[in-house]
Amino acid sequence: MARKKRKKALVLGIGNLLLKDEGLGVRAVELFKRDYSFGPEVACLDGGTSGMGLLTYIQDYTHIIIVDAVRAEGAPGTILRVPGEKLNSLPALKSSSAHQIGVKDLLEIARFQGLSPELALIGIIPRDISAGLELTPEIQKALPLAAEAIRQELEKFGFKAEERRP
């Protein structure tokens, strides 16, 4: 009899902190981790630009929320929420920079290896991905909304996260 995998969620921030808004996925997850409390069944990870190296991390999770900068129609700072089953059907949705390997590619390889976590993408349209450490004002304003979107996605997956009150 197969053993049922314990339900665990990973909130994965993707991006390059050296390219202004391209690092917004990592920054949004940092803000979520700081401003929300959640149980040990939820983990947050700075995936940076690790590409294939992320495969070893994602294999232990039944649910994954990816937060990343995306190129899509809309104003900078716009938050897009895409359920996993729609990720491949959105050709306009592309990672905004050259990570070692794209998120879609990573997920395809994971599926090929028999991994099938439930997925969601929280994408944010960047304004500027040139060299620099600071986020643009539009993205700074969007980060708390992205953190709340992470909480909502976790809730849809059946996990609890609550905003910490000062």
Residues 77-100: pLDDT tens digits?
Answer: 999 998 887 776 655 444 444 444
Q: How far from chain centre, in Å, is Cα 11?
A: 6
In which band, very low, low, confident or very high, does the pLDDT at 75 lie, cut at 50, 70 and 90? very high
Burial class (CB in 10 A: 0-12, 13-18, 19+), 121: buried
Spatial contact of 46 and 26, defined as CB atoms under 8 Å apart: yes
Residue type, 59: Q
Domain ranges of the chain: 9-158
Whole-angstrom distance, CA of residue 59 vs CA of residue 34: 25
Whole-angstrom distance, CA of residue 56 vs CA of residue 37: 25
Whole-angstrom distance, CA of residue 97 vs CA of residue 165: 35
pTM as predicted: 0.86
In which band, very low, low, confident or very high, does the pLDDT at 3 lie, cut at 50, 70 and 90? low
The pLDDT value recorded for residue 102 is 64
- CATH T-level assignment (fold) for domain 9-158: Rossmann fold (3.40.50)
In which band, very low, low, confident or very high, does the pLDDT at 29 lie, cut at 50, 70 and 90? very high
Q: Which two tokens stand for residue 64?
A: 């994954």
The pLDDT value recorded for residue 53 is 73
Higher pLDDT, 40 or 47: 40
Q: Name the one residue in this structure whose structure tokens are 């990816």.
A: 66
Mean pLDDT taken over the chain: 86
Q: Is the pLDDT of residue 122 over 80?
A: yes
Higher pLDDT, 99 or 142: 142
**Which residues are 12's β-sheet partners?**
45, 66
